[in-house]
Amino acid sequence: MVVLSQPALDHYSLIKTCNKPTSLFTGIPVVDLSDPEAKSLVVKACEFGFFKVVNRGFPMEFINRLETEALRFFNSPQSEKDRAGPPDPFGYGSKRIGPNGDVGWIEYLLLNTNPDVISYKSLSIFQENPQIFRSAVDDYISAVRKMACDILELVTEGLGIEPRNVLSRLLGDEKSDSCFRLNHYPPCPELQALSGRNLIGFGEHTDPQIISILRSNSTSGLQICLRDGTWVSVPPDPTSFFINVGDSLQVMSNGRFKSVKHRVLADHSKSRVSMIFFGGPPLSEKIVALPPLVGEGEESLYNEFTWCEYKKSAYKSRLGDHRLGLFEKSLQPSTDLVKAPHFSKD
């Protein structure tokens, strides 16, 4: 058993821990994008809220090149990385996640996906090898955005909604407020001193955008929360992509699709690298249930809001807060419409 010194223990004191996972969860929906029934499979998977896609036609060289450049950056001296931080919100961050006190065993780069919007912090990131790293990021984002749009068009086709680009156009818009994040969870050999518990790399949360597309290396750590509150571990698959339904898509589907809470645990011996595209709409876009998904005589479950309003609200909250709760309608049936219960005599 490794016994940590007090300074070392203090280093982890602000980061939460949880019980170690017992096994990998095998019930995650898998959608083959080449399947003729992909549109109905995607709709079903969005109802679960988290799923894996295969046969997506994504160039592996884009993945390998970006992961190589990301690791080159994260393995560079801390003084060099710090020149790209602290995040504003774009740039380099370490341990602190957002401005409201959340921390984790993580370092990350958050980038704007609009190539015409380059923050000062981003310039520091690409300073050493601008053509190589910037090119790797741009190529990956271009391909993953197309994948996100393709998936959203399968969703609308599966729901029978016209036009088929009613969702994908929001990500393709030149004012789309999407972002891209590279996460690095360094190995934490001191984990065995934490009484058999795991250190939280990134705390539990849902994604506020429309859709998130995640790809990671072969190190496990990602967990999702099932509807009964059970946390389960996702088997890693570096050759595939995992899709999260975002809060905004939950609202636009009037609650039919679910935004699933997820988190990442640190590993004691292996580093985890993940890359996530967060597909968001333009800031002025109204987030409201799509009319075809609100049945006759039904109401929307959520009050209408713009993406800008929700984004501001989300960034004022803690990671684990129920962010959509502020926008949920309190739907109470009218008293004159409530009928007395009927009891069968059988």
Residue 219's alpha-carbon distances to 54, 139, 140, 236, in angstroms, are 19, 24, 21, 6
Long-range contact set of residues 134-137: C-beta below 8 Å, sequence gap at least 24: 136/62, 136/65, 136/66, 136/68, 136/69, 137/66, 137/69, 137/111, 137/180
Which of 145, 272, 318, 323 is flagged as catalytic?
272
Under 8 Å between Cβ of 56 and 174: no
Active site residue 145: no
Residue whose tokens read 């807060």: 321
Say if CB 66 and CB 144 are below 8 A apart. Answer: no
Q: Please give the DSSP secondary-structure letter assigned to residue 49.
A: T
Report the DSSP beta bridge partners of residue 232: 224
CB 219 within 8 Å of CB 236: yes
- Alpha-carbon distance of 75 to 221, in angstroms, equals 20
**Strand pairing of 50-54 and 30-32?**
parallel
Kindly list the catalytic residues: 272
